[in-house]
Amino acid sequence: MVEDNLSADAVTKDLGTRFIGQRVLYYPSVASTMDIARQEAQQGAAEGTVIIADEQTGGRGRLKRAWLTPKGNIALSVILYPDLSYLPSLIMLASLAVIHSIEAVTGLKSQVKWPNDVLINGKKVCGILIESDVRGNTVNYIIIGIGINVNLRLADFPEIQPVATSLSDELGGEVSHLNVIRHLLVKIERLYLDMSAGGSLYEEWRDSLVTVGKKVRVTAGETIYDGVAESVARDGSLLLRGLDGNLTRIVAGDVTLGD
Ligand code: BTN
């Protein structure tokens, strides 16, 4: 058993960041870290404030799906106030930060399934949810929510076992979620500062995608697209070559990978 008690101090101590994770609100159990983050952001919380929970009882994912966070896993939300022009890059930033941290702590290689799931050996290990309050050209706040299955025993959750995995199941041993969280916050800050200094995350994100070159089915609202994922654009949208040969740009959707 990894000795790994989460607390705000344990996360922040000697973290070495300028602002991400310098203020941490830790909760043993909450409905969703996204709700707390939203309240905090509305009250003008410092940029980089992180809400972390040991357990979520009402965790949520994209497309109104539920997200499971029993104890021993990672549920966190980061508050940012970026310029509007950086919004498309934040999806890239979050998934790249997750991939790097997983590899740094466990040595495991992971990949991104467009737009922002992280997979290991084809199964989902992390989900990312970005919520924002944008009015016209003004970004009031952005919240990046990250859920990582760290010590989830998939055998205990047969309903998601065919499609999900965890770091501990992949490694065959428990992993320090505190260590993963600290790496993640450091990496988020580095990428955020790079991006703000004009660096591009696009190339690395594109090259991390498991989706490109694959047959896919994309569900976007009521519409289903079948085809081959040909590429991704710099704004993060997916370029899909349909069965009729036409290229469609898809901004948001849910992908099922084919062969
Ligand atoms: C998805 O895969 O659909 C996104 C899942 C996002 C889950 C995280 S866990 C931390 C934060 N709090 C939530 O309720 N959701 C996000």
Question: Is the distance from CB of 153 to CB of 166 less than 8 angstroms?
Answer: yes
CA 242–ligand 1 middle distance (angstroms): 30
Helix, strand, or coil here: 62?
A: helix
Average pLDDT over the chain, rounded to an integer: 94
Question: Is the distance from CB of 112 to CB of 204 less than 8 angstroms?
Answer: no
Question: Is the distance from CB of 100 to CB of 187 less than 8 angstroms?
Answer: yes
How would residue 178 be classed by pLDDT, with cut points 50, 70 and 90?
A: very high
Mean pLDDT value across residues 153-181:
95
Name all residues whose Cβ lies below 6 A of ligand 1. 32-34, 56, 59-62, 65, 67, 69, 75-77, 117, 127-129, 145-147
The answer to whether residue 229 scores a pLDDT higher than 90 is yes
List the residue whose alpha carbon is closest to atom 16 of ligand 1: 145
CA 212–ligand 1 middle distance (angstroms): 24
Q: Could you say which DSSP state residue 96 is in? A: H
Mean pLDDT value across residues 64-72:
89
CA 246–ligand 1 middle distance (angstroms): 34
pLDDT for position 154: 95
pLDDT in tens, 84-108: 999 989 999 999 999 999 999 999 9
Mean pLDDT value across residues 186-206:
95
Indicate the angle between helix axes 177-196 and 87-106, nearest 10 degrees.
140
Question: Is the distance from CB of 52 to CB of 26 less than 8 angstroms?
Answer: yes
Structure token pair of residue 210: 């498991």
Helix, strand, or coil here: 121?
A: coil
pTM confidence score: 0.95
60 Cα nearest atom in ligand 1: 14
Mean pLDDT value across residues 236-257:
92
Provide DSSP, 35-59.
HHHHHHHHTTPPTT-EEEEEEESS-
pLDDT in tens, 22-35: 999 999 999 999 99
Structure token pair of residue 253: 């959707």
Alpha-carbon dihedral sign for residues 212, 110, 65, 8: negative
68: left (phi over 0), alpha (psi -120 to 50) or beta: beta
Spatial neighbors of 222 by CB under 8 A, at least 6 apart, are: none
127 Cα nearest atom in ligand 1: 2
The answer to whether residue 202 scores a pLDDT higher than 70 is yes
Give the span between the Cα atoms of 137 and 116, in whole angstroms. 24
CA 58–ligand 1 middle distance (angstroms): 10
61 Cα nearest atom in ligand 1: 3
CA 229–ligand 1 middle distance (angstroms): 25
CA 78–ligand 1 middle distance (angstroms): 12
Mean pLDDT value across residues 154-175:
95
pLDDT for position 12: 97
Give the span between the Cα atoms of 218 and 236, in whole angstroms. 15
